[in-house]
Structure 1
Amino acid sequence: MEKLLKTLTELHGPSGYEQEVSYYIQEKMRSVLDEVNVDGIGNVTARMKGNKPGPTVLVTAHMDEVGFIVKKIEPNGLLRFEKLGGHDDRILLAQKVRVKGRYGLKRGVIGTIPAHYQKFDDAGRVRKHHELYIDVGARSKEEVAKLGIDVGSTVTWASELEYLGDEETGRFVGKSLDDRAGCAVLMKLVESLRDRDFAGEVVALFTVQEEVGLRGAQVGLAPIDCDVAIALDATVTSDTPEALLDDTLQLGGGAGIKILDMSLIAHPTVKDHFIELAEKESIPYQPELFTGIGTDGGAVALANKGVPTGVLSIPSRYSHAPVEVIDMEDLKAVEQLLVAFVKENDEESAFAF
């Protein structure tokens, strides 16, 4: 899992530009399954049938990460940018980034004024992203062009997956764990079902453009008819000392079982089944109720004629930052609960409201 997670998180795939991630997942899924399809905007769908009759289970995770896009190139070679997805302007200053141009990835940094100027500035003012710029070392527009960077070039954080502390902590820090961690769990599910010893059918949907409004899921779901759906996504913990946080979801506390977010009221039957399974299999879990986020589960639930939908969440600290943190035990709990859900199904399984 660690190796897969490292590969996935270090791919460049901001919203709308997920090609690297999409191609990688396509290749891996085709080495396991015969039926792998890619739609016009990059969603990857892989289907596998079990050796017994049963329900069709859709499991989805999104491939995109929050990023930026170059909006303007200044005469002195600095780059103005727009956001792709939700960012907190307070953490942008002095961060390393990677800019993807015609000649591959180039290193850059979001500029800031030196600390020596602080006494001449309003230190409490948060500079909005449209006031900021990316420095790629160029001295002019012409030098930017030689780097292969144009208006429309995309930008992601320049951080790699590493142990937080050391390997003894079991915690990882890096970019795009939201939601490459979910993608890793979904890929592991497909791999674990290679023997086809399960009931029904599993449809794995890897979506694009979740961070800009659940757009990929809305397209990817159109041709899929399923009996129940599960979205896999990172969620935010509330276990650090900030006064705003209420310690209702902890890093290392187990899989998050969604109750409510701004996009979805989890289907009661699906949610209760997750809780029963977790307790039966002694899988650590914690209820998740937070209105500050949404997932592809919100789009899935409203698809076609309506789909009973639940969400398994991977607790994460410092979400949408270059230093997202997850606990490997939480990730394993999500994987175990997902596999148990699929394996538990039989011909009689139903998820009526």
Structure 2
Amino acid sequence: MQKLLETLTDLHGPCGHEQPVSKWIRDNVTSLVDEVSVDALGNVIATKNGNQPGPSMVMTAHMDEVGFIVKKIESSGLIRFEKLGGNDDRNLLTQKVQIRTKKGLLIGVIGSISAHFAKFDDASRVRNHRQLYIDVGAKNKQDAMDLGVEIGSPITWAPSIDYLGNEATGRFVGKGFDDRAGCAVLIQVLQELDQADFCGKLTAIFTVQEEVGLRGAQVAAHQVEADVAIAIDTTAVSDTPEETMDDTLAIGEGTGIKVMDFSLISHPAVKDHLVDLATTNKITYQMEIFPGIGTDGGAMSLSKQGIPTGVLSIPSRYAHSPVEVIDMTDLLATKDLLKLFILSLTEESSFLFIED
């Protein structure tokens, strides 16, 4: 999955501008499924039919990454920007970014004062992103426009993925793991199911605009009929020494089985089945209660008459930054448990709120 993760995170696709990701995923899952389409918003919906009767299942992950968008080009050639998704102003200074233009990709830097000027500034001040700017090397406004910069050009962190430490750690650092790691899980599961026997119908939905309010999932959910759904996303761990951390979720300790977040209280029957499968098959897992996030699972659960929904979370450090960190063992545990869930379904499978 490492190569798949590298390829996906290298793609440029902030909220509302996921075209390169939508196209790559559409083209690369076509041979693995029976039908694939891209809806008007950009969601990729891929359906694979099992060889035996059974329930209809949805698995979903979002393609968008947090980013920015060009708001203004100053006469100096420096670029003002607005946020796409939840970026923390404390993470912005002196970071490399990548601007997508009709002429190609540009590398820029979010500027800051030199350290030599720090003694003349308020060192405790965190400047709002609207006070910041991106430097692409342009000498003036026309120069920036000649490079291809326009109002509305989308921006991401500059692509990067490396081992954290070295390969012995099994941990990776880079941008866009939220949620290209989840997309990698879905694609890997489709690859491993290519010649496998399973029951029912499986629909993989790769959504857009999750980071700005689960918008893609809200649209996609109404296009499918489903008996059960599993969303795959990253989640922020609490295993570092800051005073706000409570050490309830840790990197390297297995996939997170969601209990609740602000968008979803996981369906008990789905959650319990995931726990049973993980326990029986010795897949490492941890229970997740984190009201600080939401996932596409929240939107899926509210579709039509309601879909029994659960979430598997990939533990992550430093979320929504250019240096997100995940552990490959967690990624593989998430993939293995999702695959087992699909293969466990039978014609009789149901996820009732009240068992008779």
TM-score, length of structure 2 as denominator length = 0.98
Cα contact 1:49–1:196 (8 A) shared by 2: no
Cα contact 1:76–1:140 (8 A) shared by 2: yes
Identify the residue that residue 91 of structure 2 maps to in structure 1: 91
CA-to-partner distance for each residue in 1:153-208, whole Å, 9 max, x for gaps?
Answer: 11110131111111111000000000000000000111111114001111000000
Whole-angstrom CA distance in 1 between matches of 2:14 and 2:251: 25
> 1:146: how far off?
1.0
Identify the residue that residue 192 of structure 1 maps to in structure 2: 192
Which residues in structure 2 correspond to 1:1-353 (within 5 Å)?
A: 1-353=1-353
AA matched with 1:10: D
Whole-angstrom CA distance in 2 between matches of 1:159 and 1:194: 30
SS of residue matched to 1:219: helix
> 1:145: how far off?
1.0
SS of residue matched to 2:195: coil
Whole-angstrom CA distance in 1 between matches of 2:313 and 2:103: 37
Whole-angstrom CA distance in 2 between matches of 1:329 and 1:63: 22
Whole-angstrom CA distance in 2 between matches of 1:32 and 1:312: 22
Cα contact 2:89–2:126 (8 A) shared by 1: yes
SS of residue matched to 1:57: strand
Whole-angstrom CA distance in 1 between matches of 2:247 and 2:156: 30
SS of residue matched to 2:142: helix
> 1:288: how far off?
0.5
Identity %: 61
Cα contact 1:239–1:246 (8 A) shared by 2: yes
Whole-angstrom CA distance in 2 between matches of 1:78 and 1:31: 45
Whole-angstrom CA distance in 1 between matches of 2:163 and 2:183: 19
After superposing on structure 2, the runs of 4+ consecutive aligned residues of structure 1 that deviate more than 6 Å are none
SS of residue matched to 1:31: helix
> 1:29: how far off?
1.0
AA matched with 1:193: L
Cα contact 1:68–1:84 (8 A) shared by 2: yes
Cα contact 1:159–1:323 (8 A) shared by 2: no
Whole-angstrom CA distance in 2 between matches of 1:237 and 1:160: 21
Structure 2: tracts of 5 or more residues without a match: none
CA-to-partner distance for each residue in 1:246-293, whole Å, 9 max, x for gaps?
Answer: 010000000000001010001111011111100000000000000110
Whole-angstrom CA distance in 1 between matches of 2:276 and 2:32: 31
AA matched with 1:198: F
Cα contact 2:9–2:159 (8 A) shared by 1: no
> 1:106: how far off?
0.5
Whole-angstrom CA distance in 2 between matches of 1:193 and 1:49: 11
CA-to-partner distance for each residue in 1:14-52, whole Å, 9 max, x for gaps?
Answer: 000000000000001112223001100110001111111
CA-to-partner distance for each residue in 1:211-254, whole Å, 9 max, x for gaps?
Answer: 00000001111120000000000000000111110010000000
TM-score, length of structure 1 as denominator length = 0.99
Whole-angstrom CA distance in 2 between matches of 1:81 and 1:347: 52
Structure 1: tracts of 5 or more residues without a match: none
AA matched with 1:44: V
